[in-house]
Chains A and B, each alone.
Chain A
């Protein structure tokens, strides 16, 4: 039976998620976000380097997924990101939503290693997101 009782939104789930992330040695992740207004013919054909902003989010926890998630021998990782951390960045950057932020993210750096985002999922309680789960794949080394 579903619980349809109305409840006022509270920040308890977010605070709990943040506390849990910190308690398991929560670290920081660097989102490599493209700058706005990059639409030129040259940027569309890879001629002009897009401007990037590095957005630091915390607390985050990284965990390696079981080998059943491996595709082509590439390990996959899950990054658990605090929703409050993301919310602060979304407000600071004046972006519409967290989804927009993830759409503009080209890569994620955790502990010096670069990763690419495969998918994004959000955990909600009482209608509020308290945790984002980013499915990541290790990025290949790029030329300097």
Chain B
């Protein structure tokens, strides 16, 4: 299951870097594409703005199939206060931009499953695939707009996983 989670995140990260290279975040002294996995970073008292944050929630396993299939729920949170040059008045537009990027990085709805514990990452036999993202309503907190999107990520458990 961890390989599926890693592959999903890195697929989204690579796509985001291609779609909008300017969306970056400075984390742990390094500039990276503006997407991160919450559970792999230091705890946040508040999420950074203009960044996609992946949070893994539910898990289900189907044992009835020929190969065991796992379904994991991923919540992708993002928020913005707009830009300084517009005095934050463009926060709605900024969130729309993130909505579009969110929709774009999830397509196509699959990616090869890789094992990132190996160097270089080893290609596995199956793909990781997922549903269309389900967008939640906008939450307004004074000058901050936020939204979350839920994606169900599926993967077959391979030998040795």
Q: Taking the complex as formed, is A144 at the interface, i.e. its CB lies under 8 A from any CB of chain B? A: no
Q: Taking the complex as formed, is B13 at the interface, i.e. its CB lies under 8 A from any CB of chain A? A: yes
> Known: A44-B9, A45-B6, A106-B42. Contact between A37 and B29, CB under 8 A?
yes
Contact yes or no, B37 A46, CB < 8 A: yes
Interface size class of chain B, counting residues whose CB lies under 8 Å from the partner chain = 20 to 34
Looking at the complex, which one of B5, B31, B43, B121 makes contact with A41 (CB distance below 8 Å)?
A: B121
Looking at the complex, which one of A44, A50, A104, A117 makes contact with B32 (CB distance below 8 Å)?
A: A44
Majority SS of interface residues in chain A?
mixed
Q: How many residues of A contact B (CB 8 A)?
A: 22
Q: Which residue of A lies closest to B30 (CB)?
A: A39
B12-39 interface (Cβ within 8 A of A): 13, 26, 28-32, 36-37, 39
Contact yes or no, A41 B29, CB < 8 A: no
> Known: A44-B9, A106-B42. Contact between A34 and B37, CB under 8 A?
no
Looking at the complex, which one of A44, A45, A104, A116 makes contact with B29 (CB distance below 8 Å)?
A: A104
Q: A44–B26 Cα gap in the complex (Å)?
A: 12
Q: Which residue of A lies closest to B43 (CB)?
A: A116
Q: A39–B39 Cα gap in the complex (Å)?
A: 16
Q: Taking the complex as formed, is A88 at the interface, i.e. its CB lies under 8 A from any CB of chain B? A: no
B110-136 interface (Cβ within 8 A of A): 116-117, 119, 121
Query: Cβ of A38: which chain B residues have Cβ within 8 Å of it?
Result: 28-30
From residue B99, how far is it (CB to closest CB) to chain A in Å?
24
Query: Cβ of B42: which chain A residues have Cβ within 8 Å of it?
Result: 106-107, 116
Contact yes or no, A42 B116, CB < 8 A: yes
Q: A41–B5 Cα gap in the complex (Å)?
A: 13
A113-144 interface (Cβ within 8 A of B): 116-119
Q: Taking the complex as formed, is A65 at the interface, i.e. its CB lies under 8 A from any CB of chain B? A: no
Contact yes or no, A45 B28, CB < 8 A: no
Query: Cβ of A37: which chain B residues have Cβ within 8 Å of it?
Result: 29-30
Query: Cβ of A36: which chain B residues have Cβ within 8 Å of it?
Result: 29-30
Lowest 4 A-B CB distances belong to which pairs? A39-B30, A46-B40, A34-B28, A36-B29
Q: Which residues of chain B have a CB within 8 Å of any CB of chain A?
A: 5-6, 9-10, 13, 26, 28-32, 36-37, 39-40, 42-43, 45, 116-117, 119, 121
